[in-house]
Structure 1
Amino acid sequence: MHRPASSYIPAIDGLRAIAVIAVLIYHADYLSLLPGGFTGVDMFFVISGFVISQSLSERRDLGFVDFLLGFYQRRLLRLLPALLVVLIASFVLSAMLLPQVWLSEQNNRTGLAAFLGLSNFVLAWNTDTYFAPGADLNPYLHTWSLGVEEQFYLGFPVIWFLWLRQRQRVPLLWALLPTLALASLAVGVLQTRSDPLAAFYLLPSRFWELASGALLYQVLQRRSAQAPSNRGLTLVLAVGFALVLLGFLQADTTGFPLPWALATVTGTLLMITAVVLPDSSAPSVAHRLLQSRGATYLGRLSYSLYLWHWPVAVFVRWTVGFELLLVQLAYPLLVLALAAASYHWVETPIRTGKSIVQHRTWATAAACIVAVGLSMLGARWIAENPDRISISRTADTYTWMAYRHQPREPLPTMEGASLAGRQIFVLGDSHSAAYRTLLKLASLQLGVEVIEHERGGCGVVRLIGGDPPACAQSREAALQAIETNAKPGDIVLLASLRMPELAGRDWADDPQAAWAEALAELNADSRAEAMVSAHAVLTRLQAAGLQVVIDAPKPLFRAAANRCSDWFNRMNPVCAPGLSAPREQLEILRAQQMQQLRELRRDYPNLTVWDPFALLCPGPICSAFDRDGQPLYFDADHLSGHGNRVLAPDFIRLLLQVWGQPEEVADSRSSAPQDNLNPGPLPTLSGPDVPQPGRGS
């Protein structure tokens, strides 16, 4: 019976080098050479399945307990130390450089779960795919593959032990791993279409990839010892590389892992076969390249390269960006330096050390539990107290954040019969969450209760198109809750993004074309769909006897204030469009929506339009900052905490008007803080039924 050599196979590290280089090129923003380079991870899965099977087979004579404990001890010493270093470094740098945006909670959950090998579950339960733009700023995104491997290791050693020790007496054990692999393949086929996040991130649809490496080992165990010819091995290697290259160049993100992972997995199996089987003659040029000193060194660094490359890319992307040639040249050198330091100073010393931690299983387990526990505590403290170490302007969360703080200033409270027992229901997308400071001030001053039904990306009465069909279930649940719990006369605030976003468009070459592109999104079809959605919601709320307040489209910007306000990121090319916009252009961009609001007001007497546009933009140029340099906006379109406090007096005055509060009580609002905004005289619009800037209508 033929058996693959149990000793170190240098060419395997050469294959690892190919895999990690493909992933690095894919994740480098300035290179578009390998649009399917993410399939390098699938190469890693197959290689791991084969190498782990070989390693376990070398210890087939151990008892079951020693077999398992020894395996987990080696895995912990191999994987955990470098992972902890990278995770802690990422938490520290995230707190120092990245503002605490709405994505931060998701990022922190991902990072904390990565300590336990569970980050793939957090990502699978998120709404963004691996390829979504928001994922570019999650420094822990890449740990999903480590989670898949670690979960595979939980059960696979038991399966392999049974096969090693009992396959002669129980021939059915030969069918156990193939059966599980086929079941996993079937799950992957179904989930790729029905639940692509689970298909991409979770073990059930990825098990077959790791198992394929182990199955290859089993197949080679049953082969005759006859050595193939040099030409045959070279052909197998070439075909395998062609299939892998096909995956690197053509893999479709919408059909992953299946069917596109099949090309990479099959190609990797062929390449492993070619480099593992004995060669009776001199190795080919391809074999020599895979076994070369440079290739094998990169292969040994591959784990550390993989760990470091992604968080470094995230922090470069956030700060200086990848557009400069100097940055493009420096990035791979920095990643290589960090990986080499990690390999030589962390991975190797801990894995090969002679202390009791390396030689006693109980000591290894205890040390790992303590290290993970302390690291998680430290990371959680950093995540909860980022302002303690942040070097960003956004560390002043009272000014920048719209939802974190109670008001610091004394607030006058008011009472009145029309306010007793009143409720404000808030329904909309993330822009309703961006009003939380304003709503908190209203609640405290008026003594009313605020109930939020907010879901990011799920605008209601958007006016720029139909309300998202994917949000229909959550929107219906929120409307039913409002209809059940609201009393006639209560207010429903519908707050959503109601202008086409400006950030992310190509402003460098032809700004006028970018404005035209945004305006073109507001076509007759989108208007018709928007009005259908609006009537469906407003009819129900009017039937329930509720007052409805809609915020008119506010200014928005071509770059994000939180990303372009620090010395270390304002030179980033994404900031080049600037943090201001001509008022005239923004008025054009919202003209159709304002007309829609006029029409809706005529149809629904219970509807009030609140238009804070002029308060936020008192002059011909709208800015994300007020005249004192304080941020009105957190990013390109969400209000800051300071912006909320600027608008709060006007919003509270509007509530009093809707509820018919006596004018003399409403006038006492002038004592509310104004946050030093002095916009000057407010311009007015002409025409019938036009909402006045800064006032309800």
Structure 2
Amino acid sequence: MQKPQYRPDIDGLRAIAVILVVAYHAGVPGFGFGFIGVDVFFVISGYLITSLLLRELESTGSISLLSFYGRRVRRLMPAMVVVITASLVLGYILLTPIGQQQSLAESAIASIAFFANYYFIATTGGYFDGPTDQVPLLHMWSLSVEEQFYAVWPVLLIVSVAIAKRYQKRAWTIISMLAVLGIGASFFYGVWLSNTNPNAAYFSVLSRGWQLLAGALLACAVGRVLLVRASPAAVSALAWFGAGLLLVAAFVIEGSHAYPGWAGVLPVLSALALIVAGFGSSANPVSRLLSTRPFVFVGKISYPWYLWHWPLLAMARAYQLGEGDLIRDVALASLSFLLAYLTYRLVEKPVVGFFTQRSVSNQQLVKLGAFSSVLLALAAFGLMSHANQQKSMGFYRQLESAAEDVPDLRGKCHLSSPFQGLPDESICVNRSDREAPDLLLWGDSHADHYSPMLDELSDDLQFAFLQRTFSTCPPLMGYSHGYTQGHPQENDRNCELFKEEMASELSRLAERGLSGVVLSASWLGRPSSETHLSLAEEGLRDTVDMLLDYGLRVIVVAPTPVFSVPMTDCLARRTVESCSTFQRRLEKRREAILAVMHEIAEEEADVRIVDFYARLCPGGRCHSLLGDTVVYRDEHHLTTRAARELSPHARNDIEWLL
């Protein structure tokens, strides 16, 4: 293998990758595809680390795991310790103790253990889910993927060498075959997982490993001088091809894609092409550009910049209750660049110099890394303990209770994608002493949050109700949200399956004595937009007609007032009056969808509209706190307590429904 040669163009490629990521996270227009910068990082990492391992193998005949992990500690830990420590301190100052500080502490521990990717699979709705832009250590998932990969890959190289010796084969042949098989298995698993569980597909090392292995396979090819010598024109064409793929990605890839999937090939091929084009010389224009001082400078501080930028952005958004502000975010991204430079000059370089001068052994480095991790974990536990103590006192305690105040039936009966059939009726009926449900509660999560209201009335009026609710799936027959952003279209397909099952179940319920149905949904969402209103009206009419054909009475619950920020977070920071200003002004949408509902009710004697607006918004101004009751557990879902307190205002209508 050739002697290691510094590649300034690879530092330049790092610069491109980190600029894409930071610009995307800061919300800079035109960078909606910027998250692919992480894919580029994976390819670079796989190429460089495998190259070092292969050089060690060629020069010594073996690979020292202790030396490898010692180098990883020296490379990753100094900046990582500084940034996680700073994040915990900022979290103590800026975040609330009702969930935010606890989540930060947990994610810090997961990051230290290099298990953050699986922590976020379990605790978030996905990388592209709205609230994740306020998770300060979300970006640590990529470091966890790398370290999980490198916990296995060097061991596999050692095993490959042993197999090669035993069967008298060339080690690089076994390693290359292993990389090819790994790429195929990981890639196709990722494609499959992108369609079945997009959240896991994005974060999992099993669906991302092929990107690192692609770089590793390239290292094998370079190490054996298997790259064909090409003319300057061909190399230049390859470089422009790699650059062009990034431009193609800008038009093909967006946050609503199931990613990485098939689309993940674009940034990987781009990175491979640019690395190959710069190999041996920088004769082509693209490689020369990447090798210029500005790109190389940004590339050298890309790691601390990546570490710093996201905690600053996420905490600022959390502190300002999720409000978007492009100027603020660009300013913070710029501040993170300065912090990255200072970290590089004052932390990374001095620490490496200290370790070199003192001849710190790899064993000592590994021990030092473990010791640093323990100290960080203790600091995280300290923040968690503080938050738990704070949230157990006074108004924080009430807000914490409100944030977790979900209906009893929600866990068992409220559904989301993928749809796997309706739950057994017996577990979704509020009373077990009735042979069949008298009422049906049907809708999305805005139906689910009214179930405590029905439960409150059921003892007095002696009825049982069955809950059938599915997230972002309003009870509109034949209507589809048609999401292109924010929610995958897969949800629409699952919603249609749910509604088909509901149509089948209704006939059975009607035969068994069902008397009425309560329809509720997030009517102020997509259904009330101008482009969807006519379709939603048709869908609501079709649903009502179907129910009336079964001889059922119908109540349609009017839109629930909504806010633009989580009310429990707002009340933890601001006054009640201030929080009321975050009410979303959707009067035109509300009037439009209400007009449709009232028109249907005027035409059909067995249809009524129930509207809680006057109760939730006395005097026309909606409140997050009525008396001593916290009304909302987030931006638009009522707390169980608030829903129960609405029961007197619905009693007559529910009695009519029976």
When normalised by structure 2's length, the TM-score is 0.71
User: Which among 586, 596, 604 is matched to residue 592 of structure 1?
Assistant: 596
Which position in structure 2 is the counterpart of 1:204?
Answer: 206
Native 8 Å contact 2:79 2:343 kept in 1: yes
Give the AA of the match of 2:335.
L
- For residues 447 and 220 of structure 2, the distance between their equivalents in structure 1, rounded to whole angstroms, comes to 57
1:161 equivalent to 2:163? Answer: no
- For residues 126 and 311 of structure 1, the distance between their equivalents in structure 2, rounded to whole angstroms, comes to 18
Which position in structure 2 is the counterpart of 1:277?
Answer: 280
- State the 1:598 CA deviation: 7.1
- State the 1:20 CA deviation: 0.5
SS at match of 1:339: helix
- State the 1:13 CA deviation: 1.8
Give the AA of the match of 2:12.
G
Give the AA of the match of 1:529.
G
C-alpha spacing 1:421/1:576, structure 2 compared with 1 (3 Å)? closer
- For residues 89 and 541 of structure 1, the distance between their equivalents in structure 2, rounded to whole angstroms, comes to 64
Give the AA of the match of 1:431.
H
Give the AA of the match of 1:299.
G
Which position in structure 2 is the counterpart of 1:664?
Answer: none
1:616 equivalent to 2:620? Answer: no
Give the AA of the match of 1:271.
L
Which position in structure 2 is the counterpart of 1:518?
Answer: 529
C-alpha spacing 1:493/1:396, structure 2 compared with 1 (3 Å)? farther
Native 8 Å contact 2:135 2:315 kept in 1: no
- State the 1:292 CA deviation: 4.2
1:499 equivalent to 2:509? Answer: no
1:33 equivalent to 2:30? Answer: yes
Which position in structure 2 is the counterpart of 1:510?
Answer: none
C-alpha spacing 1:490/1:402, structure 2 compared with 1 (3 Å)? farther
Q: Which runs of 5+ in 2 are unaligned?
A: 409-430, 482-490
Native 8 Å contact 1:11 1:287 kept in 2: yes
C-alpha spacing 1:290/1:388, structure 2 compared with 1 (3 Å)? farther
Give the AA of the match of 1:337.
L
User: Which among 63, 69, 92 is matched to residue 66 of structure 2?
Assistant: 69
User: Which among 6, 21, 24 is matched to residue 23 of structure 1?
Assistant: 21
* Identical aligned residues as a percent: 26
Q: Deviations over 1:629-660 (max 9, x none)?
A: 98644555323577447535546x569x84xx
C-alpha spacing 1:193/1:438, structure 2 compared with 1 (3 Å)? closer
C-alpha spacing 1:240/1:386, structure 2 compared with 1 (3 Å)? farther
1:161-310 aligned within 5 A: 161-163=158-160, 167=164, 169-171=168-170, 173=174, 174-193=176-195, 195-223=197-225, 234=236, 236-248=238-250, 250-251=252-253, 254=257, 256-277=259-280, 287=287, 289-310=289-310
C-alpha spacing 1:322/1:535, structure 2 compared with 1 (3 Å)? closer
Q: Larger radius of gyration, structure 1 or 2? A: 1
Native 8 Å contact 2:561 2:613 kept in 1: no
Give the AA of the match of 1:530.
L
1:430 equivalent to 2:445? Answer: yes
Give the AA of the match of 2:144.
G
Native 8 Å contact 1:581 1:622 kept in 2: no
1:639 equivalent to 2:624? Answer: no
1:137 equivalent to 2:134? Answer: yes
- For residues 387 and 55 of structure 1, the distance between their equivalents in structure 2, rounded to whole angstroms, comes to 49
1:377 equivalent to 2:381? Answer: yes
- For residues 109 and 471 of structure 2, the distance between their equivalents in structure 1, rounded to whole angstroms, comes to 23
SS at match of 1:206: helix
C-alpha spacing 1:151/1:549, structure 2 compared with 1 (3 Å)? farther
Native 8 Å contact 2:313 2:329 kept in 1: no
- For residues 566 and 32 of structure 2, the distance between their equivalents in structure 1, rounded to whole angstroms, comes to 31
- State the 1:50 CA deviation: 0.7
Which position in structure 1 is the counterpart of 2:426?
Answer: none
1:339 equivalent to 2:340? Answer: yes
Q: Deviations over 1:301-322 (max 9, x none)?
A: 2122222323323334455688
SS at match of 2:558: coil
- State the 1:255 CA deviation: 6.6
Native 8 Å contact 1:426 1:453 kept in 2: yes
- For residues 585 and 229 of structure 1, the distance between their equivalents in structure 2, rounded to whole angstroms, comes to 63
Give the AA of the match of 2:134.
L
- For residues 140 and 123 of structure 1, the distance between their equivalents in structure 2, rounded to whole angstroms, comes to 10
SS at match of 1:264: helix
- For residues 594 and 267 of structure 1, the distance between their equivalents in structure 2, rounded to whole angstroms, comes to 56
- For residues 267 and 455 of structure 2, the distance between their equivalents in structure 1, rounded to whole angstroms, comes to 54
**Higher mean C-alpha deviation, range 93-102 or range 366-375:** 93-102
- State the 1:156 CA deviation: 1.2
1:404-423 aligned within 5 A: none
C-alpha spacing 1:156/1:457, structure 2 compared with 1 (3 Å)? same
Tell me the C-alpha RMSD between the 2 structures: 5.5
Which position in structure 1 is the counterpart of 2:147?
Answer: 150
More helix as a share of residues: 2
- State the 1:46 CA deviation: 0.8
- For residues 182 and 215 of structure 1, the distance between their equivalents in structure 2, rounded to whole angstroms, comes to 12
Native 8 Å contact 1:555 1:617 kept in 2: no
SS at match of 1:521: helix
- State the 1:45 CA deviation: 1.0
Native 8 Å contact 1:358 1:364 kept in 2: no
Q: Deviations over 1:553-611 (max 9, x none)?
A: 144246346399579899xxxx99952658787354323234556778728xxxx9754
- For residues 266 and 632 of structure 2, the distance between their equivalents in structure 1, rounded to whole angstroms, comes to 47
Give the AA of the match of 2:524.
P
- For residues 448 and 107 of structure 2, the distance between their equivalents in structure 1, rounded to whole angstroms, comes to 22
Higher RCO, 1 or 2 (CA under 8 Å, sep at least 6)?
2
1:552 equivalent to 2:562? Answer: no
